[in-house]
Amino acid sequence: MNQHHHIENDDKYSGLTVNSGVTQPPSVNPYLKPRRRKPLPTSGELVEGILKGDVTILSRAVTLVESLSHEHQAIAQEVIEKCLPYSGNSRRIGITGVPGAGKSTSIDVFGLHILKDGGKLAVLAIDPSSERTKGSILGDKTRMERLAVHPSAFIRPSPSAGSLGGVARKTRETIVLCEAAGYNNIFVETVGVGQSETAVHSMVDFFLLIQLAGTGDELQGIKRGIMEMADGIVINKADGDNIGPAQLAQAQYRSALHLFPPTASGWSPEVLTYSGYYELGIPEVWDMIDRYFAFVKANGYFDAKRHEQARYWMYETIDEQLRKHFYDNPEIQQQLARCEADVYANRRSSFAAASLVLATYFSETKTVL
């Protein structure tokens, strides 16, 4: 029987002819190439690209730094290690202020101001709150419109995942990569509403606090800690009707700063007014920052602070890794759950429970070693 024979073509179905259809393609598309994951670059390739200032490779390396995968972390750590000798040659400036203070508007203007004289600028951020970071990949680009398209600027939003300590460490590691790629100005932006200022303070040379006039929080206790960290306080939006209030706030901040103990650097923090939007007073802000760098480089504080920060990050990293190793251990996790229930029900004291879990951890670690 020929293969085109169809029973419907039988005499009893006369009047009706059925043609063979088109042969069906196999259900799997033979033209579709199996999707291969892009192979991971070697640390050598990444370092070579970074040192050449290749932005695509720098971004790729930063992505590995931010990744939680062990494989990515292993490469990232090698890259950081190899970039370290080429790092350090930059001004690291922390910029903080509450949302709406005008950070992005100001960073755009400050950035353009310093890039007029050449050089390169990387803008990084520390913001562990995932809600904001979700939108800020695009957000940051549009918020800093002119910098985003400037060939000498590299803008990278905050790594989103993880604890503040973890996010801060990744930003600090990203600074190393950016410096190796020739970025001689680093801005680290943070939202001035929490612990992240302390983290930023521990990785920058100069800490700039952007404030607004007339928000009533000038001398509030909550800001004291942040004010004490500031090397410069700048009151933004000193334009139009707001010039008077901005100058008043300036006077208030100045007298408040007099009450603070002298700074470790010997530098007296200054208070200036400016307008990011109307680009007024920008050279003056920058002149203050230039004078600060000249001052601390001359008195040795610049190097001393960088050494102290390096030491701080060593211990921070050790602390973080130890905690992670402890809490990631499945047996410890189970025991912790049991102990938590015991403590809650008053069957065991907190201290006895802690000793028990730690004893398990240490005995396990010994057997591993």
- Measured from the CB atom, the residue of 127 and 218 that comes closer to ligand GDP is 127
Closest distance to ligand GDP from the beta carbon of 275 (Å): 4
- Measured from the CB atom, the residue of 97 and 159 that comes closer to ligand GDP is 97
Site for ligand GDP in 177-206 (CB under 6 A): none
Burial of 72 (0-12, 13-18, 19+ CB in 10 A): middle
Q: Dihedral sign for Cα 229, 231, 236, 242, please.
A: positive
- Draw the binding track, 90-129, toward ligand GDP (x: CB under 6 A; -: no contact): -------x-xxxxxxx------------------------
Here the contacts of 254-258 (C-beta below 8 Å, separation 24 or greater) are 256/218, 256/219, 256/227, 257/227, 257/233
Closest distance to ligand GDP from the beta carbon of 101 (Å): 4
Residues forming beta bridges with residue 153, ordered by sequence position = 121
Closest distance to ligand GDP from the beta carbon of 231 (Å): 19
Q: Is 75 helix (H, G, I), strand (E, B) or coil?
A: helix
- Measured from the CB atom, the residue of 139 and 162 that comes closer to ligand GDP is 139
Dist. CA 361–CA 366, nearest whole Å: 9
- Draw the binding track, 310-349, toward ligand GDP (x: CB under 6 A; -: no contact): ----------------------------------------
Site for ligand GDP in 231-250 (CB under 6 A): 236-237, 239
Contacts with ligand GDP by CB under 6 A: the residue count is 16
What single letter denotes the amino acid at residue 279? E
> 143, 150, 305, 306: which one contacts ligand GDP (CB under 6 A)?
143
Dist. CA 309–CA 176, nearest whole Å: 13
Dist. CA 219–CA 296, nearest whole Å: 28
For residue 35 the two structure tokens come to 């999707």
Closest distance to ligand GDP from the beta carbon of 112 (Å): 14
- Measured from the CB atom, the residue of 66 and 140 that comes closer to ligand GDP is 140
Closest distance to ligand GDP from the beta carbon of 254 (Å): 20
Closest distance to ligand GDP from the beta carbon of 155 (Å): 13
Instruction: Please give the helix or strand (H or E) that residue 96 lies within, else none.
Output: strand 91-97
* Range in contact with ligand GDP (rule: CB under 6 A) among 8-16, 126-134, 275-283, 326-334: 275-283
- Measured from the CB atom, the residue of 99 and 266 that comes closer to ligand GDP is 99
- Measured from the CB atom, the residue of 132 and 305 that comes closer to ligand GDP is 132
What single letter denotes the amino acid at residue 139? G
Q: Quick one: which of 174, 66, 181 has its CA closest to 124?
A: 174
User: What's the start-to-end Cα distance of the chain, in Å?
Assistant: 75
For residue 84 the two structure tokens come to 């370290």
Dist. CA 231–CA 57, nearest whole Å: 34
- Measured from the CB atom, the residue of 176 and 227 that comes closer to ligand GDP is 227
Question: In angstroms, what CA-CA distances link 367 with 56, 328, 336, 360?
Answer: 44, 17, 20, 11
Closest distance to ligand GDP from the beta carbon of 267 (Å): 25
Q: Which residues contact 328 (CB under 8 A, 6 or more apart)?
A: none
- Measured from the CB atom, the residue of 171 and 265 that comes closer to ligand GDP is 171
Residue 313 · residue 172 · CB < 8 Å:
yes
Closest distance to ligand GDP from the beta carbon of 201 (Å): 18
275 binds ligand GDP (CB under 6 A): yes
Residue 233 · residue 209 · CB < 8 Å:
yes
Closest distance to ligand GDP from the beta carbon of 308 (Å): 29
- Measured from the CB atom, the residue of 142 and 349 that comes closer to ligand GDP is 142
Dist. CA 234–CA 97, nearest whole Å: 10
Which parts of this chain interact with ligand GDP (CB under 6 A)? 97, 99-105, 143, 236-237, 239, 275-278
